[in-house]
Amino acid sequence: MSIGSLGIKVGMTQLFDEKNASIPVTLIKIGPCTVTQIKTVPTNGYNAVQLGFDLSKKKTEKRSLNKALEGHLKKSGALNSRYLKEYHVNKPEEFELGQTFDVTNFSTNQFIDIRGKSIGKGFAGTVKRHNFSRGPMSHGSKNHREPGSIGAGTTPGRVYPGKRMAGRLGGKPTTLKRLAILRIDPEENLLVVKGSVPGKPGNLLSLTPSVA
């Protein structure tokens, strides 16, 4: 039963292999996530499972929910769910409302895709944002970090769409594919994933099994 899950980035550390080489890893706290809705082709036009995830440490929390959302979450008993996420499945009949998923849904050496919001860097120039080469730093040059020409003159008489220029860097949904799970800690509900993942510690992440 392969399905994705929601989690939060705890931070980064390192492991050492048998040759004493350091491996950078990221710790991700998974769920537990609760099945809040099951969608099928006859009813919704596609097969999917909706999971609810609660970031709060309290077992019960006062929240102002509208009637529609409150009634929706009551069916699965997941009133504390702050985030809802759908995952497409092939066999929705294998899932039940109120069913929970945690770190045991994954296995060691499995490859997963991780999606989250990258760290926002604010307004950045072309050198930092697009890895442009800088100009000469001496011999009278004043073109140190300028973007250079952004187009021709009368023809075409405009700047082409998609031209790489200065602007906001980061703070956008980013997906990293085929990251290996090196270890699993069922007691702390932690995944140890090789490499880095988008965002800063505490960032919400969506994990899905990689397509072979």
The pTM score is 0.86
The pLDDT assigned to 79 comes to 82
Tens-place pLDDT, residues 149-191: 999 999 999 999 999 999 999 999 999 999 999 999 999 999 9
pLDDT band at 195 (very low <50, low <70, confident <90, very high): very high
pLDDT band at 1 (very low <50, low <70, confident <90, very high): low
The pLDDT assigned to 66 comes to 86
DSSP 3-state of 27: strand
The backbone torsions φ and ψ at residue 44, rounded to the nearest 5 degrees and listed phi first, read -115, -10
How many CA atoms within 13 Å lie on the side-chain side of 40? 8
Tens-place pLDDT, residues 57-98: 555 556 678 888 888 888 888 888 889 999 999 999 999 999
Coarse DSSP helix, strand, coil percentages of the chain, rounded to the nearest 5 percent: 10, 35, 50
- Which one is predicted more confidently, 75 or 208? 208
| Two tokens, residue 115 | 């999606």
Radius of gyration (Cα) for the chain, nearest Å? 23
Q: Mean pLDDT, the chain, as a whole number? A: 92
- Residue ranges, CATH 2.40.30.10, the chain: 5-122+168-209
d(CA 86, CA 136): 51
Asked whether the predicted pLDDT for residue 197 surpasses 90, the reply is: yes
d(CA 99, CA 119): 33
- How far, rounded to the nearest angstrom, does the alpha carbon of residue 55 sit from its chain's CA centroid? 15
Percent of the chain with pLDDT over 70: 94
**Residue 70 and residue 5 in contact, taking contact as beta carbons nearer than 8 Å:** no
Peptide bond connecting 156 to the previous residue in cis, omega within 30 degrees of 0: yes
Percent of the chain with pLDDT over 90: 79
Structurally, what CATH architecture does the domain formed by 5-122+168-209 represent?
Beta Barrel (2.40)
Tens-place pLDDT, residues 7-46: 999 999 999 999 999 999 999 999 889 999 999 999 999 9
